Chain A
């Protein structure tokens, strides 16, 4: 069961909501559809499911309806139509008291401007949810302190919020939500009010905490890089509609429409794209038990000079070059065992970011081997492929080119555009801190 499921959710502000929804039903842009109606559509036909333990990012520019959407997920705003299920419980029809209990037990929220109570100490703020739940003071204190410890603010417990910097205040906001002990965390532009360095830091902290706690997080942001960094999956919103849902890679490599394509055009792909999305099939892969004669034929057929060798259970062992095959042949061996070398090839895992491939590629004589989690060979990345992938990520090129999946035809497009200075330029530009 999904932790949270949203089905054909609408929020129309103003009058004549039914008429507005009827006009929007066929997917017409909201500005046209609602012309002349005294209604504003904030969220139009939203559908998604969030899996337990997932960070689900909703990304959109201001006015795209994302803040309205998140406020319907805990009933702060009542949907005009549609369904929100939290752990299978339909939230839209709950009575106020039941809704409050659901909020106490299942969902907590972190706000853009922290929303701390200025007249309460950091500790009292962190323990607010527990106070609402009516816990005894001692237990409240203990759990609030534990939450403050998680965000590293124990020494500040007795200070007032105004004594803290912005980043620290938001960590109190986070502690308040963590102390509540709910499985679901709603984060509404939680880091947008912080300056970039602090934002980066608190993002890391969130990811660390998430690795430890495994909450289900719905994170709203207008910052694409933040979305890509945090999100297991990302929903892109525009003008009230969700236009695409997918992983960062899916959205980068296969944008649903021009809007998403343009949106992601400026993203530093080298940090999002992984080895698995730029690798290609290794042409000559042989088991280590194969004799040199077979290897020689395979090399000739594929017109390559290196064999990738796998062992039992397809574990990647290393490479054997043309010369070595020849030597094994001369020495009359029945298998390639003893000729396999790991000196001339580097290995990376499938989820290594493209940005981290450059050094490996440079130091690897043969195309870098990409291994899956169990150590099997999934593919290889020749240098030229990496450069080709980069060329297609250059923001200077037209959006249509920019979104062309890098793996499609890397060898062909490689020599043409891949080695020109223009293609290399984005590397240096994009490695600045985000």
Chain B
């Protein structure tokens, strides 16, 4: 490679980014071990019971509960669709894996949102923080998803925990971005009105800005869940279990049948989660009011 370099290129400095990253990860593994252990046990304590619950109860019960939820949130058509879709998955041999994927997605998404929404609020209120956060979020989002798995293995070994944490990092950015966007889009005059009557900043945030930003924030929630689902499959590579395992195995054995079954299970989960979270946002009074206002205009 160096033989074909033009002489001009020798002016470019060598940047051993990879070496730096390695030493950083090494340092972190050595010094932050207890922290990682603590994080791992928390994540494990969240995922395992949920996983046990979802795989423990009869499939029919899970199907019925989700179908009922779908009916309540979006109407009977969607409820019926949910029942048929999940029923199909339950009829295939990978129900347990599907449920364990669901558990991982839910835990990773909830943790990602717990970090993303406050962070989004912070960067929306603080221009400098926003300027710093933007490139970091870009990096987090565009870095090939697999790459997250490598340090995750270093820090947490093989299994569900590195899978969930890599998923968390990968799925967080849209939560931050859309929270920030939603807050920034709130009508300035309404915010000024709240301020002009002497409302303190926390009240403006909680009772005016957040309710009005909620539809956008809910889009963020939806995006986080979708990204988490896509990542959880990749996380199968580090032995996270679930549908990722099924698909990885099918890939290595070139088994079209089980690969397709695993894929369909992911699709069904994705559609159900997407539509459910999408309609949760619409049920908030602020979202309804704003939609009505838009329709009236």
Contacts and interface: CB of A to CB of B under 8 A. Distances in A.
Interface of A: 71, 74, 76, 97, 100-105, 107-109, 111-113, 115-119, 128-129, 132-133, 160-162, 176, 180, 186
Contacts of A117: 190, 193-194, 208, 211-212
18 contacts: A74-B196, A103-B195, A103-B197, A104-B197, A104-B198, A115-B189, A118-B290, A119-B286, A128-B193, A128-B197, A132-B197, A132-B198, A160-B289, A161-B289, A161-B293, A162-B289, A162-B293, A180-B197
B196 A108 contact: yes
Interface in B270-297: 284-286, 289-290, 292-293, 296
B292 A160 contact: yes
The SS class assigned to the A binding surface is: mixed
Given A113-B189, A160-B289, A162-B289, A119 B198 contact: no
A103 B196 contact: yes
Contacts of A103: 195-198
Interface in B192-212: 192-200, 203, 208, 211-212
B37 interface: no
Given A100-B199, A132-B197, A180-B197, A111 B192 contact: yes
Contacts of A115: 187, 189-190, 192-193
A46 to B, nearest CB: 19
B182 to A, nearest CB: 14
Interface of B: 187, 189-190, 192-200, 203, 208, 211-212, 284-286, 289-290, 292-293, 296
Contacts of B196: 74, 76, 103, 107-109, 186
A180 B196 CA distance: 11
Nearest to A112: B189
B192 A118 contact: no
A227 B62 CA distance: 67
Given A76-B192, A111-B192, A113-B189, A119 B289 contact: yes
Nearest to B294: A162
Contacts of A108: 196-197
A101 B198 contact: yes
A116 B191 CA distance: 10
Residue with the highest number of chain B CB atoms closer than 10 Å, among A107, A111, A115: A115
Given A107-B196, A109-B192, A111-B193, 15 more contacts: A71-B192, A101-B198, A103-B196, A109-B193, A109-B196, A109-B197, A111-B192, A115-B189, A117-B212, A119-B212, A119-B289, A129-B197, A132-B194, A161-B293, A162-B292
A76 B195 contact: yes
Nearest to B284: A119
A127 to B, nearest CB: 10
Given A103-B197, A162-B289, A132 B187 contact: no
Nearest to A162: B293
B297 to A, nearest CB: 9
Residue with the highest number of chain A CB atoms closer than 10 Å, among B197, B290, B296: B197
A237 to B, nearest CB: 20
A17 B192 CA distance: 24
A132 B193 contact: no
A207 B126 CA distance: 43
3 A-B pairs with least C-beta separation: A104-B198, A119-B286, A115-B193
Contacts of A128: 193-194, 197
A115 B189 CA distance: 6
Contact of B285 (A101, A119, A132): A119
Contacts of A161: 289, 293
A102 B195 CA distance: 12
Nearest to A125: B193
Nearest to B201: A96
Contacts of B208: 117
Contacts of B292: 160, 162
B289 A118 contact: yes
Residue with the highest number of chain B CB atoms closer than 10 Å, among A102, A111, A118, A132: A118
Contacts of B187: 113, 115
Residue with the highest number of chain A CB atoms closer than 10 Å, among B194, B196, B208, B212: B196
A119 B288 CA distance: 8
B197 A162 contact: no
Nearest to B295: A162
A102 B193 CA distance: 15
A107 B192 CA distance: 13
Nearest to B211: A119
Contacts of A118: 212, 286, 289-290, 293
A111 B191 CA distance: 11
Nearest to A111: B189
A129 B189 CA distance: 16
Contacts of A119: 211-212, 284-286, 289-290
B269 to A, nearest CB: 32
Nearest to A107: B196
Contacts of B190: 115-117
B216 to A, nearest CB: 14
B200 to A, nearest CB: 6
A389 to B, nearest CB: 43
